Each structure stands twice: as structure tokens, then as C-alpha cells.
Amino acid sequence: MTTLKVINIGKQFSRYPVGRYRADGDSNGEKFREDVLRPLLVMRDDVVIEFDDALGYGSSFLEEAFGGLVRSGFKADDLLKRLTLNTADDSLKKEIISYIKEAKQ
């Protein structure tokens, strides 16, 4: 595995990441998890995610994208070590960490 990859959600995925499932539109959490996050986590040791260029996040998006990783087999502790969440908004970081910790495998 190679070391580090930076993904900017607002610039590389969607300005409005909303929706939980694929049926909720083009910018949903399931799509972000399966098409972006999971391949990166399989290929890279560490992934840096930039949040601040998107215009707003829905909790259902965040829960599905990050909590969904735990439900689909990733270990919460491992994810918390490998993911770097870059945002000036601490509430976003706290919310994502809570979804990772609370999700059941």
C-alpha cells in the first residue's frame, strides 16, 4: 500500500453532499463510501479528507458514508487512525467520529 491520499469532497465529489442512498441523488453517502472512500482505504494507508469546500453536509450522508464503513467491515479504531478529517468546523469532525464509534459491525 502507498501512504497518503487527499480527497477534497467539495471539489472532487460534490458541493452539496446530501442523501443516504443512491436513490437520493448523485451526491449520496453510499456512493461516496463505495466509489471514493472504500477504494482509497483499500489502496492507501492513510486518507486525508478535506471538508470545507462543500456548502453543507446532511447527517444522513455523513452517517452512511462513515458509519457505513464500519458496518461494511472496517474496524472503527483502524478508521480513526487512518482517516484525517480536515475541517475548520469541529462540530463536523465530532459528528463523523461519533458515527464511526457508534456504528455496529
Partner 1 sequence: MTQLTGGAVKALITWLLVVLGWMVVSDQQAAREFAKNCYERMQRLREELCEIEDLAIQHHTASFDELRAKKVLRLISQISMEIEHWRKVKCLGIEVIGLVVGLRRAVSIENFDCSSYAVQALDSEIVVNIEIAKNKLDRALMDAAYRAVRERPSLVRSVISSVKRIF
User: Is the Cβ of residue 51 or residue 74 nearer to partner 1 in the bound state?
Assistant: 51
User: Is the Cβ of residue 20 or residue 33 nearer to partner 1 in the bound state?
Assistant: 20
Query: Minimal distance in Å, beta carbon 104 to partner 1?
Result: 16
Q: How far apart are CA 57 and CA 35, in angstroms?
A: 18
Query: Minimal distance in Å, beta carbon 50 to partner 1?
Result: 14
User: Is the Cβ of residue 29 or residue 41 nearer to partner 1 in the bound state?
Assistant: 29
Query: Minimal distance in Å, beta carbon 14 to partner 1?
Result: 11
Which chain residues interact with partner 1 by CB under 8 A? 16, 18-21, 23-25, 28, 54-60, 63, 88-92, 94-95, 98
Contact 91, 59 (CB under 8 A): no
Q: 95 burial class (0-12, 13-18, 19+ CB within 10 angstroms)? A: middle
Shortest CA distance to 79 belongs to which of 88, 90, 69?
69
Query: Minimal distance in Å, beta carbon 10 to partner 1?
Result: 11
Contact 27, 17 (CB under 8 A): yes
